Amino acid sequence: MLSLTCIFFFITTLWLLLHIRRTRQLLAELEDSVHAQRRLLPEASNATIELHGLKGLIRETNDFIDRHKLYATENTGYSKQIEAMLRAVQEVVVIFDGDRVIEFANTAAEQLFNSARTMKGLRVDAAMRSLELLEFLENKDTDSTNGNQQISIEREGSVLWFEASCTQVRGIAEPKLMSSLMVLHDITRLKSLEVMRREFVANVSHELRTPLTIIKGFAETLVDDYEVLPIEMRARYLAKILKNAERLNVLVEDLLTISRLESKRDQFEPKLQGLLPVFEDVAEDYLPKLEKHQSIVIDIDPEVPEFEFDRFRINQVLDNLVVNALRYASKFNQITISARLNTVANTVICSVKDDGVGIPEEDLSHIFERFYRVDKGRSVKRGGTGLGLSIVKHIVQLHGGTVYAESCEGEWTEVSFCLPLETCPEGS
């Protein structure tokens, strides 16, 4: 009897040990499967698994692994889509971890900071090399309440302006850790426009102040001393007032013309026509103002065909160019208005050339800027506003063309503009 009990105890113990061993083996396989993120396919039979009470656990584990792999696949695809979109945006985008090592940089960032080479793995301070930008990031680390900030970065001799922002995001390499997302929005053009606006307002204020001061001064003198002023003095003062009032009127008209050209594209009305009638009208208008030794010559290449252009606007261009020649090319003998065909570029090149005093080389690149004058004193004396060539540039650009000037100081000046034979208004 005792021996039977011992045998039974031995068998039971052996069975339990085998059961425990097999259970441990199954749990080890389960652990490896979870770590490897693969479905568990146990070596034991279903009966053995069910006997050990692990069938439900294995089924749930396999379902969990399937769901995790599906989520990981979807998340990877989503991450790649996000990365592709970030690479395509024009803004500079950089993601770096807590050690300032770059985890991601889009194309715009690589072009700006690293000559279009990859920046991943580089340290922020080594890759960006901008003291102002690094100071911005330092301030962001110490004060998370800082908003966007405008910073400047010098590249290849020019200054670029950006609106910088930085925020915390989930890390790319270690999702459990936080990284920093920095975005730089290019506002260089806005900064340039802001500078241009300030300069424009300052220039307009200056141009308006001078004639207004003169008008005010002479008008006050007439009011205060009218009875004691000689008649010829009164007439002289009134003539001064009228002259400066006309100067103000011309300035305001030129400003309104520029404003209309910049804001109302519908005023551009091209029609199929020839250049000769336009040239003849301009020459005829200014023949009475020439001295005996002066002349206006028209020279049109017979190969120049009829093409589409706005006659009123091109008349304005030629009018401004001829007026400039009359006003500033002192002691000229001849003004030549010409047109020739450029078959290579499919354009017509129109020019107004005089044999006057010419323009200094350092001024040539600036003459189409608003209010720029080569000889400020002489320009004011002769009634120039400094806007004529700027109007010329606007009109030519509306036609889809370009304008440029050439000169030999002391000998001649030629201002030319190219009009495409197939005209397309700017912005259409």
**DSSP strands (E only) in 42-177:** 92-96, 102-105, 149-155, 158-170
Give me the architecture of the 190-263 domain, per CATH.
Answer: Orthogonal Bundle (1.10)
Q: How far apart, in whole angstroms, are the C-alpha atoms of residue 177 and residue 353?
A: 71
Chain centroid to CA 314: 29
Token pair, residue 153, equals: 């970065």
Neighbouring CB atoms inside 10 A of 92's CB total: 23
Alpha-carbon Rg for the chain in angstroms: 41
Fold of 268-428: Heat Shock Protein 90 (3.30.565)
Domain boundaries, the chain: 8-80, 90-186, 190-263, 268-428
- Under CATH, domain 90-186 is a member of which superfamily? PAS domain (3.30.450.20)
Q: One digit per residue, pLDDT tens: the chain, 428 residues?
A: 556 677 766 677 776 666 666 666 666 766 676 666 666 556 555 555 555 556 666 677 777 766 666 655 555 544 566 566 666 677 888 888 888 888 888 888 888 888 888 888 888 888 888 888 888 888 876 665 456 888 888 887 788 899 998 888 776 656 667 888 889 988 888 888 787 778 777 777 777 887 888 889 989 988 888 888 888 888 988 998 998 888 888 788 878 877 777 766 556 788 999 999 999 999 998 888 888 888 999 999 999 999 999 999 999 899 989 988 888 877 888 999 999 999 999 999 999 999 888 888 888 888 888 777 766 544 445 556 678 888 899 889 888 999 999 988 888 899 999 999 875 544 44
Strand-by-strand arrangement of the 158-170 sheet: 102-105, 92-96, 178-186, 158-170, 149-155
In contact, 258 and 298? CB cutoff 8 Å: no
**DSSP strands (E only) in 239-385:** 271-273, 295-300, 307-309, 334-342, 347-354
Q: Helix, strand or coil for residue 8?
A: helix
Sign of CA dihedral 189, 195, 198, 201: negative
Q: How far apart, in whole angstroms, are the C-alpha atoms of residue 284 and residue 278?
A: 10
Q: How far apart, in whole angstroms, are the C-alpha atoms of residue 166 and residue 140?
A: 7
Residue recorded with tokens 């090149």: 349
pLDDT of the residue at 44: 54
pLDDT of the residue at 425: 47
In contact, 148 and 164? CB cutoff 8 Å: yes
In contact, 119 and 103? CB cutoff 8 Å: no
Amino acid at 42: P
pLDDT of the residue at 10: 66
Q: How far apart, in whole angstroms, are the C-alpha atoms of residue 60 and residue 45?
A: 18
223-250 pLDDT, tens digit per residue, is 888 888 888 888 988 998 998 888 888 7
Q: How far apart, in whole angstroms, are the C-alpha atoms of residue 198 and residue 201?
A: 5
pLDDT of the residue at 376: 53
* Among the listed residues 383, 370, 392, the one whose alpha carbon sits nearest the alpha carbon of residue 250: 383
Q: How far apart, in whole angstroms, are the C-alpha atoms of residue 395 and residue 265?
A: 11
Amino acid at 110: E
